[in-house]
Structure 1
Amino acid sequence: MDIKYEVIPEKDVYLVKDLCNGLMAYQKSVARIHPEFFGEMWFETRMLPSLKSARHNYIVIAKDKDEVIAYAYSNIAPKYIYSSGFATLNCEAFFDFDSVKSEDVGCLSQIFIKEGYRNMGIGSVLFDMSMEWMNSFDNICFYLIISADKKLVKEM
Structure 2
Amino acid sequence: MELNYEIIPDHEIEVCRDLCNELMKYQKEKAVMSPELFDTMNFDTRMVPSVHKAMHNYIVVVKDRNELVGYVYANISLKGVYRNDFATFFDMNSVQREAVGCLSQFYIKEKYRQYGVGSKLFNMSMDWLSSFEEVDDYFIYVSSGNDDALSFYQHKGFTISHEILDGFITVLRSKKVSENEHNHIF
The alignment's TM-score, normalised by the length of structure 1, stands at 0.88
> Which 10-residue stretch deviates more, 27-36 or 48-57?
27-36
How far apart are the structure 1 equivalents of 2:54 and 2:76?
6
Which residue of 109, 116, 140 corresponds with 2:104? 109
More RCO (CA 8 Å, sep 6+): 1
1:48 aligned partner, one-letter code: V
1:75 CA drift (Å)? 0.5
1:81 CA drift (Å)? 1.3
> Which 10-residue stretch deviates more, 134-143 or 33-42?
33-42
Unaligned runs of 5+ in 1: none
Secondary structure, counterpart of 2:40 in structure 1 = coil
> Which 10-residue stretch deviates more, 146-155 or 63-72?
146-155
Q: Cα deviation per residue 1:83-130 (whole Å; 9 max; x = unaligned)?
A: 1333x2xxxx33221011111111001000012111110000000000
Percent identical pairs in the alignment equals: 46
How far apart are the structure 2 equivalents of 1:2 and 1:58?
23
Evaluate the alpha carbon distance shift between residue 121 and residue 43 of structure 1 in structure 2; reply closer, same or farther with a 3 A threshold.
same
Q: Name 1:149's counterpart in structure 2.
A: 146
Unaligned runs of 5+ in 2: 156-186
Evaluate the alpha carbon distance shift between residue 153 and residue 52 of structure 1 in structure 2; reply closer, same or farther with a 3 A threshold.
closer
How far apart are the structure 2 equivalents of 1:107 and 1:153?
15
The alignment's TM-score, normalised by the length of structure 2, stands at 0.74
- Quick check: which one's strand share is greater? 2
1:29 CA drift (Å)? 2.0
1:122 and 2:117 equivalent? yes
